[in-house]
Copies of this chain bind each other. A is one copy, B any other.
């Protein structure tokens, strides 16, 4: 592998001068610069990152901890990786068991992440229980899609649901229910409910909370189907806003089973806008997560934290806006 030394020998200049050219720090004569550049490209010089890391005592690695596989989160990672790469950082992956929120896999994964001494650690919301350990380590970290009050990039789910209610009302629906996962008061529901309540109040409607079978709450699709089967046709709502696209698709399946027509008899709105949402029958009206914006914002904050920039009041945190995607279930 060709290093500084080789370029130095080739140009007849000193290592120091070649280094100055490469880092762009320090004054170098026109002539030397041209010579070094030519030689470096001709020889195919590639800086040794290990040596640089050692010397500078800093890593260029941002470790992302994944729990399970989620297309939406990967989309966020996609934009984040791209942005971080442009700033010279690498993204490395640490994959925990699927549904690891409650897994004992997580402490070990966090230990591993710390051992690697990355420049920063990114964690998907839902597994933040152990975050204190990371905070203590001093390594910059960032949560994505968290519901807790650590440094994080979030989505304004409440606003998404608010918009959905307002939209459904504008199309003539008057009995608009919210179908959540498990207990109404759990974190996931709580991040959506304020928007629902607010919109319902503003429109002087009555709130209705549909709750899935808590035993089944691990499977969103089944939960949605379950809710669809439970609904009383006589006094049923004329619109349902679901906790997620998966749940909404379960509702669709349940209504299909019962030959209830969507959207004629009842409208269904999902949440997330997963790729699958456009392929359901009928294609799902849903609230789109701003994946690109989240990824970019995450990269921005990570870079600032690495650079040691002081956190704004209340810490690094933001809630990015969603957009409503109207398809054929409403």
Which residues of A approach B to under 8 Å, CB–CB? 1, 46, 48-51, 53-54, 57, 59, 61, 64, 69, 71, 74-75, 77-78, 81-82, 85, 90-95, 112, 114-117, 221, 246, 249-250, 252-253, 256, 276, 279, 281
Q: How far is the CB of A31 from the nearest CB of chain B, in Å? A: 27
Contact status of A116 and B75, CB under 8 A, knowing A92-B93, A221-B279 = no
Contact status of A256 and B281, CB under 8 A, knowing A78-B95, A92-B61, A117-B46 = yes
Decide if A85 touches B71 in the complex (CB within 8 Å): no
Q: SS class of chain A's interface: helix, strand, loop or mixed?
A: helix
Decide if A77 touches B95 in the complex (CB within 8 Å): yes
- CB neighbours of A71 from chain B (8 A): 69, 71
29 contacts between A and B (CB under 8 A): A46-B114, A48-B117, A50-B51, A50-B54, A54-B54, A61-B92, A69-B71, A69-B74, A69-B75, A69-B78, A71-B71, A77-B95, A78-B95, A81-B94, A85-B94, A85-B112, A90-B93, A91-B92, A91-B93, A92-B93, A93-B93, A221-B279, A246-B279, A249-B279, A252-B281, A253-B279, A256-B281, A276-B279, A281-B281
Cα(A108)–Cα(B242), bound, Å? 42
- Chain B residue nearest in CB terms to A92: B92
Contact of A53 among B1, B50, B75, B77 (CB under 8 A): B50
Decide if B116 touches A49 in the complex (CB within 8 Å): yes
Cα(A53)–Cα(B81), bound, Å? 24
Q: How far is the CB of A92 from the nearest CB of chain B, in Å? A: 4
- CB neighbours of A114 from chain B (8 A): 46
- CB neighbours of A93 from chain B (8 A): 64, 77, 81, 90-93
- CB neighbours of A54 from chain B (8 A): 48, 50-51, 54
- CB neighbours of A253 from chain B (8 A): 279, 281
Q: A1-B57, A78-B95, A81-B94 are in contact. List 19 more A-B contacts (CB 8 A).
A: A1-B117, A49-B116, A50-B53, A54-B54, A61-B92, A69-B75, A77-B93, A77-B95, A81-B93, A82-B95, A85-B94, A90-B92, A90-B116, A91-B93, A92-B93, A93-B93, A246-B279, A250-B279, A253-B281
